Amino acid sequence: MNALTQELVDLLSLEKLEENIFRGQSRNLVGKRVFGGQVLGQALRAASYTTDRPAHSLHAYFLFGGDVNAPIIYEVDRIRDGRSFISRQVRAIQHGKTIFMCMVSFAEQEEGLNYQTAEPDYPAPENLKNEAELKQQMVEFVPENVRASFMRDRHVELRPVMPINPFAPQPEAPNYAHYIRTHDKIAAEVDEISLHQAIAAFYSDFTLMTTALRPHGLSYLSPSLQCASIDHAMYFHKPFRADEFMLYDMDATISASSRGLNFGRMWQNGQLVCSTTQEGLIRLREIESQ
């Protein structure tokens, strides 16, 4: 596998310490704090290790920022093992403190009523530039002190449908979309449903919270802006592959009380395969200090 894809697989593959207790390593992906998608993906994987069914929903709260220089311990509580649904609670612990909690529900795919909303009509990914190409076009806007971190490649490939320059944002509609996949195919020896779901959870946190910033002409790089994920929900509707392009379409419905509410839908081969919801903190420090 491509080196970045291998690193992502390694990041989402946890060490079993004892029954229901796992350890995940941390990476500096977005700065001083652990990237929320890393904790989402690792917590989902930890819960998945305790059942042979695929996840169908995840509901999480981010409680404290994680330390990128320390591993994270995941404790899984086997809440329920039913015939139709299996429930797990996961606590992520670092330095003796619970930094994240989630509930995950698992269920087998079954036949039933079928309906989905229409997929948005966007250009195909092969007609769009990838994020690395777009970054090269805006390199003159990037301050020298953040250039290295901003220009480095992500662990997944993004192709924005409606690219923006985060260093010069303008007020826009609260909508955003990109195609996303791993840089390389998942190797056969680790090709499991739980890994694909964990990768989708990992990249479900990319740009979702910032959708609520767009009407205000702000980006995650805007001075005096404090951004942080508060909670995150994810629903897995149908099988998918994280190493093939998925369209991630996002919109925000409100920003109020220094919080923004954002929704996302992931599409693959015309099928709505995942849905996400996230509320994020979007606080202007200059307002807070008055």
105, 219, 229, 268: the catalytic one is: 229
Active site residue 251: no
Q: How far is CA 163 from CA 140, 153, 175, 176, in A?
A: 16, 17, 11, 8
Closest Cα to residue 269, out of 288, 241, 250, 249?
241
User: Quick one: how many helices (H) and strands (E) in the chain?
Assistant: 6, 12
Asked if 196 and 169 count as a contact pair (C-beta separation under 8 A), the reply is no
Report d(CA 125, CA 57) in Å as an integer.
27
Is 205 one of the annotated active-site residues of the chain?
Answer: yes
278 is catalytic: yes
- Nearest Cα to 200, choosing from 229, 160, 242? 242
User: If we measure between CA atoms, which residue out of 202, 220, 203 comes closest to residue 211?
Assistant: 220
Selected catalytic residue, list 205, 243, 249, 251 = 205
Active site positions, annotated: 205, 229, 278
